[in-house]
A and B are shown apart, each in its own frame.
Chain A
Amino acid sequence: MNEQDRKLFLPETMPFILLRLTMILVFLAVVYIFYDIVKKGFGVISFEFITAPPRSGMTAGGIMPAILGTIYVTFITALAGMPVGFFAAIYLNEYAKRNLLTRIIRLSIRNLAGVPSMVYGMFGVALFVHSLSFGTSILSAGLTLGLLTLPVIITTAEEALKSVPDAYREGALALGASKWHSIRTNVIPSAFPGILTGMILGLSRATGETAPILFTGAAFFLPRLPTSIDSQFMALPYHLFIMATQHHAVEKVRPLAYGTAVVLVTVVLAMNFAAIVLRAYYRRKLRG
């Protein structure tokens, strides 16, 4: 260390070292969580674990019904959340004027993003399960999760629409196309990958949620697979919750819980990863 370095060490270098150490600590914490779950859960994963239903009072067997239930619910969530979110984003970016109504819509979206998932669950219970008499079902849970994904989908879809240059719109309008025609043929196609990214991110969040489905349709254990959207269902996040805390022999089924956690994290992160890759590819294409 020369004289100059020594002088700067305490006032400048030292704080920066502390910042770096903090970041590294967070980094290690995250890595350790993944390491612990994969280390203890990976060995449990087998063909049977993925494709078989639970056996012997859920102390053995697989998690196929939970995987299937999660897929069904996510499908309903997609049907409920994606079109509405997409259309709302089109309104905000293409049609909305700068007025009070627009401000209130935007404020509502930002507030919806902050509503606790448990409150979405209560809303689902009061509205879908009771008032609309959908009962505890795939439909009720899917619709509840659909509402939860709206803020994510709207915000990201709007970003994507915003990144389409105005020249695209004006070009079509100058050729005599109507506004909707220009949006349909010029704006949406070029914003589509970005919109899709937002939809996948929204769905991945819904896939991992537990609180909203607790009382809207998720079941502890079902001997049969769901047959329609009126059926209750098993779901991966809820299955992990009961295997970890509610099962009559929690210690004994811990490996199964770890296995479930690995599958859940893999599914959710694979969706996130797909969204990130799509976004990166799209950005490069726009620049190229």
Chain B
Amino acid sequence: MENKKELAMRLFFLLNGLLAIIVLGGIFYLLLSNSLMAWREVGIVPFFAGLIWRPSGFEAASFGILTLVAGTLLVTAGAAVVAIPVGIACAVYLAEVASPLEREVMKPVVELLAGVPSVVIGFFGLVVLNPLLARLFDIPNGLTALNGSLLLALMSLPTIISISEDALTAVPREYKEASLALGANRWQTVKSVILPAAFSGVSAAVMLGIGRAIGETMTVVMATGNALQFPSGFLSSIRTMTATIAIEMGEVPFNSTHYYALFAVGFVLFAMTFVLSLLADIFLHKAGEVAKR
């Protein structure tokens, strides 16, 4: 009797655990099955190699994803260029330089930033950065890739900082002490011993931070202008994959080519973040091995 109950409880909890696999598999299945319809109706090559995304209008509809991918990659690359060095610098600062008091002040602020909803960050980009960038670069409006990049950099900072900091503090103390004992100064120790030892963990942090930037929706919808054109630089308005889904999904008829094509965009987005998550996983696994050594 007792054993049956035990077994039932075990099975019950297992079922809840399995749900994580089911949800991830379900997302994959729904995205893929709708994408297959899109690729059947649009064609694989026109979809992946097409420059023109024109769901409706006087001319024939066209569903080429390249412009959207370029928009996403540009705004994410801009965010990465800012967020990676700044994030690692902050992590090193918090882990190696800051006094306990400074940590007590700075860390909660970083955590606070992680909690701010993306729509609020987007709003900030719209009302503050937008006019500021317009004046700074003398352009008609500041809703540009640059605006989105700066905001996304800010939003990926908490991820990069907290995970990098964990990796840095996990470096065995002996490494640092040996370096200092050999006469290296503190900066040399950070640069040549601690950072290389924490490389895997810091890389994982960067992957997860970039993953967050690629998948971010509301911020780019509000801050980048959403012009359907191939991006011509950081001062041009761009349209990301996420923004396209957010803007067009509401008006699209259920089970139309356009509906399927949006799911295909979602599938490509999902694939990108999936790869970044896997890479982060591999790096974290490596980092764990270093810490054990």
Candidate in A19, A107, A118, A264 with the most chain B CB atoms within 10 angstroms: A118
Known: A245-B126, A254-B127. A240 touches B120 (CB 8 A): yes
| Residues of B near any A CB (own CB < 8 A) | 2, 5-6, 9-10, 12-14, 16-21, 23-27, 30-31, 34, 86, 89-90, 92-94, 97-98, 105-106, 108-113, 115-124, 126-128, 154, 157, 185-188, 190-191, 208, 211-212, 214-218, 221-222, 242, 245-246, 249-250, 254, 262-263, 266, 269-270, 273-274, 276-278, 280-281
| A125 and B120 alpha carbons, distance in the complex (Å) | 24
Known: A11-B187, A122-B245. A109 touches B5 (CB 8 A): no
What is the minimal beta-carbon distance from A38 to any residue of chain B, in angstroms?
A: 12
| Residues of A near any B CB (own CB < 8 A) | 8, 11-12, 15-16, 18-20, 22-23, 25-27, 29-31, 33-34, 36-37, 84, 87-88, 90-92, 94-96, 104-105, 107-123, 125-127, 130, 147, 150-151, 154, 178-180, 204-205, 207-211, 214-215, 237-238, 240-241, 244-245, 254, 257, 261, 264-265, 268-269, 272, 276
Candidate in A25, A126, A178 with the most chain B CB atoms within 10 angstroms: A126
Contact between A115 and B30, CB atoms less than 8 A apart: no
Closest to B157 in A: A26
Contact between B17 and A118, CB atoms less than 8 A apart: no
Chain A residues, CB < 8 A from B94 = 23
Contact between A268 and B119, CB atoms less than 8 A apart: no
What is the minimal beta-carbon distance from A109 to any residue of chain B, in angstroms?
A: 5
Known: A23-B106, A105-B17, A111-B24. A119 touches B270 (CB 8 A): yes
User: Which of B18, B126, B212 contacts A244 (CB under 8 A)?
Assistant: B126
What is the minimal beta-carbon distance from B126 to any residue of chain A, in angstroms?
A: 6
Contact between A150 and B110, CB atoms less than 8 A apart: no
Chain B residues, CB < 8 A from A265 = 116-117, 120
Known: A11-B185, A88-B20. A118 touches B217 (CB 8 A): yes
| A84 and B23 alpha carbons, distance in the complex (Å) | 12
Known: A96-B17, A111-B274. A257 touches B123 (CB 8 A): yes
Closest to B186 in A: A12
What is the minimal beta-carbon distance from A167 to any residue of chain B, in angstroms?
A: 21
Contact between A115 and B128, CB atoms less than 8 A apart: no
Candidate in B24, B25, B118, B121 with the most chain A CB atoms within 10 angstroms: B24
User: Which of B108, B249, B280 contacts A215 (CB under 8 A)?
Assistant: B249
What is the minimal beta-carbon distance from A268 to any residue of chain B, in angstroms?
A: 6
What is the minimal beta-carbon distance from B116 to any residue of chain A, in angstroms?
A: 6
| A2 and B236 alpha carbons, distance in the complex (Å) | 51
Chain A residues, CB < 8 A from B280 = 110, 114
What is the minimal beta-carbon distance from B269 to any residue of chain A, in angstroms?
A: 6
| A215 and B250 alpha carbons, distance in the complex (Å) | 6
User: Which of A111, A150, A254, A269 contacts B277 (CB under 8 A)?
Assistant: A111
User: Which of B5, B6, B21, B217 contacts A108 (CB under 8 A)?
Assistant: B21
User: Which of A33, A84, A127, A147 contacts B116 (CB under 8 A)?
Assistant: A33
Contact between B97 and A214, CB atoms less than 8 A apart: no
Contact between B246 and A214, CB atoms less than 8 A apart: yes
Contact between B93 and A208, CB atoms less than 8 A apart: no
Chain A residues, CB < 8 A from B119 = 208, 210, 237-238, 240-241, 264
Chain A residues, CB < 8 A from B20 = 88, 105, 108-109, 112, 150-151, 154
What is the minimal beta-carbon distance from A211 to any residue of chain B, in angstroms?
A: 4
Contact between B24 and A123, CB atoms less than 8 A apart: no
User: Which of B128, B186, B269 contacts A36 (CB under 8 A)?
Assistant: B128
Contact between A22 and B86, CB atoms less than 8 A apart: yes
What is the minimal beta-carbon distance from A10 to any residue of chain B, in angstroms?
A: 10
User: Which of B89, B214, B262, B274 contacts A19 (CB under 8 A)?
Assistant: B89
Chain A residues, CB < 8 A from B105 = 27
Contact between B123 and A244, CB atoms less than 8 A apart: yes
Chain B residues, CB < 8 A from A180 = 5-6, 9
Candidate in B90, B216, B218, B222 with the most chain A CB atoms within 10 angstroms: B218
What is the minimal beta-carbon distance from B66 to any residue of chain A, in angstroms?
A: 19
What is the minimal beta-carbon distance from B289 to any residue of chain A, in angstroms?
A: 16
Candidate in A27, A94, A122, A150 with the most chain B CB atoms within 10 angstroms: A122
Chain B residues, CB < 8 A from A107 = 281
Known: A20-B97, A27-B106. A115 touches B126 (CB 8 A): no
Contact between A126 and B34, CB atoms less than 8 A apart: yes
| A264 and B112 alpha carbons, distance in the complex (Å) | 14
Contact between B273 and A118, CB atoms less than 8 A apart: no
What is the minimal beta-carbon distance from B62 to any residue of chain A, in angstroms?
A: 21
Known: A26-B157, A88-B20. A122 touches B215 (CB 8 A): no
Q: List 14 A-B contacts (CB under 8 A).
A: A12-B188, A26-B154, A107-B281, A108-B23, A116-B273, A122-B262, A123-B27, A150-B20, A204-B115, A209-B117, A210-B217, A211-B218, A241-B221, A268-B117
Lowest 8 CB-CB distances: which A-B pairs, in order?
Answer: A116-B215, A208-B117, A87-B16, A91-B13, A91-B17, A114-B277, A211-B217, A19-B93
User: Which of A84, A245, A269, A272 contacts B16 (CB under 8 A)?
Assistant: A84
